[in-house]
Amino acid sequence: MGSCKIGPDLYQYTFVDDCTRYRVLMLYTRREAANTLDFMDCVTEEMPCLLRRFRTDRGREFFALKVQEYCIKFLPNKLASLHVNDKVEYSQKTSKYFYDFLKHI
């Protein structure tokens, strides 16, 4: 799970299941703990199975106390280990190309 800026005042939150490659994407105007909670609600509702762990990109929004109340283990990526979160990074890059393409239409 991760978040990235894809435009002015536009952030994409991304969840990719390691096993099934099932993706959940949401767009928000800010990157903050309240949006992270909303996104986690959406992910837990959309996934057909119980979630036990989230791999994150070390974003501060994932470490808020309210987020920790979900009782789901968080596995923050080691520093300088982008390859560990490659599924999310690839998904975000693909989405960014898509949004850039839409700007030129």
Residue 9 sits in a domain of what CATH number?
A: 3.30.420.10
pLDDT value at 55 more than 70: yes
Number of domains, the chain: 1
Within-domain flag for 11: yes
| DSSP notation for 36-49 | HHHHHHHHHHH-SS
pLDDT for position 23: 83
pLDDT for position 28: 93
Within-domain flag for 95: no
Structural domain span for residue 26: 2-90
**Full-model pTM:** 0.67
Residue 18, φ and ψ in degrees, nearest 5: -60, -35
Most confident of 42-46, 55-59, 93-97: 42-46
Instruction: Specify the 3-state DSSP secondary structure of 53.
Output: strand
Residue 73, φ and ψ in degrees, nearest 5: -70, 135
Within-domain flag for 101: no
